[in-house]
Structure 1
Amino acid sequence: MAAYAYQAVDAKGRKKRGVVEADTLRQVRQQLREQGLMPLEVEPAADKERKPGAATPRWGGVRSVKSQDLALITRQLSTLVSSALPIEQCLLAVADQTDKPRLKKLLMSVRSKVVEGYGLAEAMAEFPGVFDHLYTAMVAAGEKSGHLDQVLSELADYTEQRQHMKSQLTQALIYPLMLTLVAIGIVVFLLVSIVPQIVDNFASMGQTLPPTTRFMITLSEFLQNWGLALLGIIVIALLGFKQWLRKTSHRLSYHRQLLKLPLLGKVIRGVNTARFARTLSILTSSSVPLLDGLKITSTVIGNLAMREAIDEAATRVREGSSLRAALQQTRLFPPMMLHMISAGEKSGELEQMLRRTADNQDREFESLVQVSLKVFEPVLIVTMAGIVFFIVLAIIQPILQLNQSVGL
């Protein structure tokens, strides 16, 4: 039996969507009519899902799912598999448990492939937008080793940890950016809306204005006359930069430059080294060979320069080098991590050392984010106070000069 996604209407004209199992399209339509539904569209659920370049079907194809949802269904599968239930029953139970049509459709599509005789990893590989190469490789290793439930549990933990790190990184980058944009917006509002009203009063004084006041007036006039054009240039530049990054060689060069930045480069290295260590640890514990693990791990690294370095390290390992020596030549991994990897290779506990390294990197990253945010906020406040003080000073100085001239 295969899974079919349908769109139908009931007797009241309300649209219904869902997934059913049947042998043929004709059986699907018959089932829907027996339920009092008029079928509008019926398609095999897996046909368009497994084509990465295909357009999203208008009945809501699943290109990806949220990390929280993926972690949840993975953990549920782990629990059911540990109960010695057949894989197809586990998938059916999880599909019945979820109340999200997109997830139900995905799980039923995977189940239909399993029923046809495919392995779980092979069935999941049909949906690369949801189950990436790392996920399917670990599931395949779990199926071969007979420890699928443990592998799925580790995958759920990994997915949750990765989502947590993503949230931390978003906070580290987006929060300061938003504060900066708000601060710039306030200053621009003062210069464009408030300052011109005060300048009209200065024009009637007929006196020489202080340099600070003249600079403020010049800046205000520039923003009024060219502000929108400047904003347009910035938007066009950003769009052009985004287009420029589409070329792999350009993006690689850009990522290399990011690694050289004082603070941001350290954050990027920390996030990616932690992801590298944790991913390789999970793959190693799942009995995936080291070379295959390095190849898979490089695909989950976001920075292309670090991805290229890991590929080069994998080549050195294939030629007989130790993992520690291969990674050391990249000059991208911290010394503590390299020493722990060396200790793991010598003791035969590489996966435990990699896991500890990932935990250490995560703690360092979280500490760096917290310290950076605590430092950034007062610096931004002081900077804003200085700008506002300059504007106020530029406004008050002509008034003080006028009072002095009147007093004389």
Structure 2
Amino acid sequence: MPAFEYKALDRQGKQSKGVIEADTARHARSQLRDQQLMPLDIQPVVEKESRTSGGFTLFKRKISVAELALLTRQIATLVAAGLPVEEALKAVGQQCEKDRLASMIMAVRSRVVEGYSLADSMAEFPHIFDDLYRAMVASGEQSGHLDVVLNRLADYTERRQQLKTKMAQAMIYPVVLTTVAIGVIAVLLAAVVPKVVGQFQHMGQELPWTTQLLIASSDFVQHFGLIVIGLIFVLVALFKRLMNNPAYRMKYHTVLLKMPVVGKVSKGLNTARFARTLSILSASSVPLLDGMRIASDVLQNVRVKQAVEEATARVREGTSLGSALANTKLFPAMMLYMISSGEKSGELEQMLERAADNQDREFESNVNIALGVFEPLLVVSMAGVVLFIVLAILQPILALNNMISG
């Protein structure tokens, strides 16, 4: 039975909205009238979601990783308690505080009631339940251990949320420091320096090169500062447009991997994500080739994704997973060793999980090292700029004092 989102008025004229299950929109209106409600708007949930998520929209009806983890954990708990899937979905949908979450859950339930599997029902919302999520749910349904797989999915989504939170917290200080540094220097050049240094131009003698450079920089900021800011926005928009081109995106991601510090962090992020995703899928009894295909889809770097796809083709031809990944020359030696030993010992699932844990630790270490290098460099650079400004101001003053004393 399909689910419909509705807006209606009660007897007091107060507007209410929610989700209702009905065979058709007319049936939904009839049910609302039976509840003493005057229907204003009724739309099928799936149709509304697909229209909102398709194409370019300013606001997509997505949910946060934390919300997805909570929903997954709730469904897993109810399924483990012996409730049928449709009843578990109904209970979770009724407990949701946000209307859009309740609408989505009830729409999935309506598909399950119609006879579709849970994974196929979730396919109606690909912007919420990605390929990895649906593949694991499908394997859980086929193996009869849906509750175990859902709990594993909840752990995975929670771990991903923790990683994002750590990254955000780690980036707060560098971003704030960079913004303040640029702002202070811009204010000094645009407002303070002209008032202090401008009088030196009337001294009738040649100014030191530092003062001349400072005056030129100040004039440039005053006359072209806004133009430079506008140019930066144009370059950012142009960059995003170029990234929509597969060829340019491939070149950029390839160069990114070769950069000294950023490349190591990017490579660590993608290899860690691949190892974690493949370990989760392997533990959920997803075939290796399907797992590699799905794991490649969650990678952000196009060059790494292409390498994994090439490795998948080699595995399909009979090459071992460790050898196929080694040919890409992108995965760390320790990870390759652990995967190869897991294949030989028949414990690939456990070794993939250990490799994923090791890659996560290495990635966090690389991020900390990168930030540890960036922050002192930024402080030293800002101090150098301020020192240059101070020297450029003091040199003419000292020269004037020497002239007076002479």
- Tell whether the 8 Å contact from 1:259 to 1:266 is kept in structure 2 after alignment: yes
Shift of 1:194: 0.3
Tell me the equivalent position of 1:247: 245
Shift of 1:240: 1.1
Question: Whole-Å Cα distance in 2 between the matches of residues 83 and 386 of structure 1?
Answer: 64
Tell me the equivalent position of 2:134: 136
- Tell whether the 8 Å contact from 1:5 to 1:44 is kept in structure 2 after alignment: yes
Tell me the equivalent position of 1:186: 184
5+ residue gaps in structure 1? none
1:386-405 maps to which residues of 2 (within 5 A)? 386-405=384-403
- Tell whether the 8 Å contact from 1:48 to 1:54 is kept in structure 2 after alignment: no
1:362 aligned to which of 360, 370, 377: 360
Question: Whole-Å Cα distance in 2 between the matches of residues 208 and 391 of structure 1?
Answer: 18
- Tell whether the 8 Å contact from 2:10 to 2:16 is kept in structure 1 after alignment: yes
1:2-401 maps to which residues of 2 (within 5 A)? 2-50=2-50, 54=54, 63-171=61-169, 175-401=173-399
Superposition RMSD on alpha carbons, in Å?
Answer: 2.0
Shift of 1:226: 1.6
> Matched residue of 1:41: which SS?
strand
Question: Whole-Å Cα distance in 2 between the matches of residues 230 and 32 of structure 1?
Answer: 58
- Tell whether the 8 Å contact from 1:56 to 1:63 is kept in structure 2 after alignment: no
Task: Pick closer, same or farther for the CA change 1:300–1:175 going to 2, 3 Å.
Answer: farther
Question: Whole-Å Cα distance in 1 between the matches of residues 9 and 365 of structure 2?
Answer: 54
Question: Whole-Å Cα distance in 2 between the matches of residues 177 and 122 of structure 1?
Answer: 42
Question: Whole-Å Cα distance in 1 between the matches of residues 360 and 22 of structure 2?
Answer: 47
Task: Pick closer, same or farther for the CA change 1:154–1:67 going to 2, 3 Å.
Answer: same
Shift of 1:23: 2.5
Question: Whole-Å Cα distance in 2 between the matches of residues 35 and 221 of structure 1?
Answer: 72
Question: Whole-Å Cα distance in 1 between the matches of residues 104 and 65 of structure 2?
Answer: 15
Question: Whole-Å Cα distance in 2 between the matches of residues 312 and 169 of structure 1?
Answer: 30
Question: Whole-Å Cα distance in 1 between the matches of residues 171 and 57 of structure 2?
Answer: 34
Shift of 1:271: 1.0
Question: Whole-Å Cα distance in 1 between the matches of residues 295 and 271 of structure 2?
Answer: 11
Shift of 1:17: 2.1
Shift of 1:49: 2.4
Shift of 1:232: 1.9
Question: Whole-Å Cα distance in 2 between the matches of residues 309 and 178 of structure 1?
Answer: 36
Further displaced range: 259-268 or 375-384: 375-384
Shift of 1:12: 4.7
- Tell whether the 8 Å contact from 1:52 to 1:128 is kept in structure 2 after alignment: no
- Tell whether the 8 Å contact from 1:255 to 1:305 is kept in structure 2 after alignment: yes
- Provide, for residues 23-62 of structure 1, a one-character-per-residue CA deviation record: whole Å limited to 9, x for no partner: 232332233234443211101212232468647999x9x7
Give the residue type in structure 2 aligned to 1:40: L
Shift of 1:378: 2.4
Question: Whole-Å Cα distance in 2 between the matches of residues 102 and 53 of structure 1?
Answer: 13
Question: Whole-Å Cα distance in 2 between the matches of residues 112 and 14 of structure 1?
Answer: 28
- Tell whether the 8 Å contact from 2:279 to 2:349 is kept in structure 1 after alignment: yes
Shift of 1:145: 0.3
5+ residue gaps in structure 2? none
Shift of 1:377: 2.2
Give the residue type in structure 2 aligned to 1:281: S
Task: Pick closer, same or farther for the CA change 1:192–1:165 going to 2, 3 Å.
Answer: same
- Tell whether the 8 Å contact from 2:53 to 2:61 is kept in structure 1 after alignment: no
- Provide, for residues 208-256 of structure 1, a one-character-per-residue CA deviation record: whole Å limited to 9, x for no partner: 2111111100111111112222222222122111111111121111111
- Tell whether the 8 Å contact from 1:5 to 1:18 is kept in structure 2 after alignment: yes
Question: Whole-Å Cα distance in 1 between the matches of residues 149 and 333 of structure 2?
Answer: 30
**How many residues get paired?**
406
- Tell whether the 8 Å contact from 1:210 to 1:398 is kept in structure 2 after alignment: yes
- Tell whether the 8 Å contact from 2:5 to 2:103 is kept in structure 1 after alignment: yes
- Tell whether the 8 Å contact from 1:20 to 1:28 is kept in structure 2 after alignment: yes
Task: Pick closer, same or farther for the CA change 1:38–1:52 going to 2, 3 Å.
Answer: closer
- Tell whether the 8 Å contact from 2:264 to 2:366 is kept in structure 1 after alignment: no
TM-score (norm 2): 0.95
Shift of 1:291: 0.7
Identity of paired residues, percent? 55
